[in-house]
Amino acid sequence: MRLLLDQNLSWRLVRLLESKFSDVVHVSTVGLSQATDLQIWLYAMLHEFMIVSKDSDFQNLIPGPNSFPKFIWITIASARTSTIAQTLLEHFDHISAFAESADVGLVIPVTAP
Give the pLDDT confidence of 46-96 residue by residue, as tens digits: 999 999 998 877 766 666 555 668 899 998 767 899 999 999 999 999 999
14-60 pLDDT tens trace: 999 999 998 999 999 999 999 998 899 999 999 999 999 988 777 66
Report pLDDT for 58. Answer: 72
- Going edge to edge, which strands form the sheet with 2-5? 23-26, 2-5, 50-53, 71-75, 105-109
The reported pTM is 0.89
